[in-house]
């Protein structure tokens, strides 16, 4: 498969979405053909699944249902948007991917990283990112950031307890350790400028590796 599939991961309030937007522009200016997208969502069917998953009224949602809905949304997004872009040799920057499911559903919800990986293997059918940036921020700090941001819509997962978000963080460290080869950690507690610069350098180095 040609192209380059790069994912952005991290707890709530790590700033990855903002950084992704800036990097898309920077890379485009440098002549790279870049597509940016997000999970869950990115295309119509997956955005519809996103609204079901994140609806604050869906308090009865079972953990396995949640994991399956994320995987279903992922599958459709991959087929409709990610794979066609990679086939056209583009760089795809994706805000969250399978590692979010491993950290949130596998570890924090307690479904098991291997169990959640196995349903996702069915969904992604072998397509893993070539590079994953982990935006590292202590969960308390990330949550403080998002609570200060009035424009951001609060979703069902934001309303989870601090201890859930601490588990998400631990989950990410476990997953990062398991997939050391593709994970790069960026200190997201630094200023936006520093974080963006560091992320940009990691991506350029990766692209130049061929
Ligand atoms: P966002 O806030 O980054 O748009 O992501 C929506 C929420 O969904 C966020 O709380 C993380 C969560 N999530 C999972 O729990 N599992 C997943 O597989 C993905 C992609 C997101």
CA dihedral 78, 81, 86, 92 (to 10 degrees): -90
The answer to whether residue 29 scores a pLDDT higher than 70 is yes
Mutate to test the pocket of ligand 1, among 19, 37, 40 (most ligand atoms within 8 A of CB): 40
Alpha-carbon separation of residue 30 from 7, 37, 67 (angstroms): 20, 19, 38
Ligand 1 shell residues, CB under 6 Å: 12, 39-40, 70, 96, 100-101, 104-105, 157
Mutate to test the pocket of ligand 1, among 9, 13, 14, 39 (most ligand atoms within 8 A of CB): 39
Alpha-carbon separation of residue 114 from 78, 138, 172 (angstroms): 21, 25, 14
Task: Encode pLDDT of 137-171 as tens digits.
Answer: 999 999 999 888 878 888 998 889 999 999 999 99
Region of poorest pLDDT, from 40-44, 134-138, 152-156, 178-182: 152-156
Are 16 and 8 in contact by the 8 Å Cβ rule? The answer is yes
How far away, in angstroms, is 77 Cα from ligand 1 center? 14
pLDDT (average), residues 6-13 = 96
Task: Encode pLDDT of 78-137 as tens digits.
Answer: 999 999 999 999 999 999 999 999 999 999 999 999 999 999 999 999 999 999 999 999
The first and second tokens of residue 195, run together, are 């974080």
Q: Taking all residues of the chain, what is their mean pLDDT, rounded to a whole number?
A: 96
Q: Nearest CA to 143 among 164, 128, 116, 117?
A: 164
Is pTM beyond 0.75? Reply is yes
Are 120 and 105 in contact by the 8 Å Cβ rule? The answer is no
Q: 3-state class of 96 per DSSP? A: coil
Residues linked to residue 94 through DSSP beta bridges, in sequence order? 7, 37
The Cα–Cα gap between 125 and 112 comes to 20
Q: At what angle do helices 113-124 and 162-178 cross, to 10 degrees?
A: 70
The answer to whether residue 1 scores a pLDDT higher than 70 is no
Helix, strand, coil share of the chain (percent; to 5): 55, 15, 30
């Amino acid at each position: 498969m040609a192209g380059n599939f790069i994912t952005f991961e991290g707890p709530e309030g790590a700033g990855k979405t903002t950084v992704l937007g800036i990097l898309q522009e920077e890379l485009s200016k440098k002549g790279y053909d870049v597509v940016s997208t997000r999970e869950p969502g990115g295309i119509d069917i997956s955005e519809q699944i996103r609204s079901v998953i994140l609806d604050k009224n869906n308090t009865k949602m079972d953990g396995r249902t949640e994991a399956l809905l994320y995987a279903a949304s992922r599958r459709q997004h991959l087929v409709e948007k990610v794979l066609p872009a990679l086939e056209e040799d583009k760089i795809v920057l994706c805000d969250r991917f399978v590692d979010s499911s491993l950290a949130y559903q596998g570890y924090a919800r307690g479904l098991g990283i291997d169990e959640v990986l196995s349903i996702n293997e069915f969904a992604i059918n072998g397509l893993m990112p070539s590079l994953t940036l982990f935006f590292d921020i202590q969960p308390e700090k990330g949550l403080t950031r998002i609570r200060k941001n009035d424009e951001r819509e609060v979703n069902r997962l934001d309303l989870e307890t601090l201890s859930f978000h601490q588990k998400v963080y631990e989950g990410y460290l476990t997953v990062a350790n398991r997939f050391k080869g593709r994970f790069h950690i960026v200190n997201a507690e630094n200023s936006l400028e520093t974080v963006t610069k560091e992320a940009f350098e990691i991506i350029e180095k990766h692209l130049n590796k061929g």
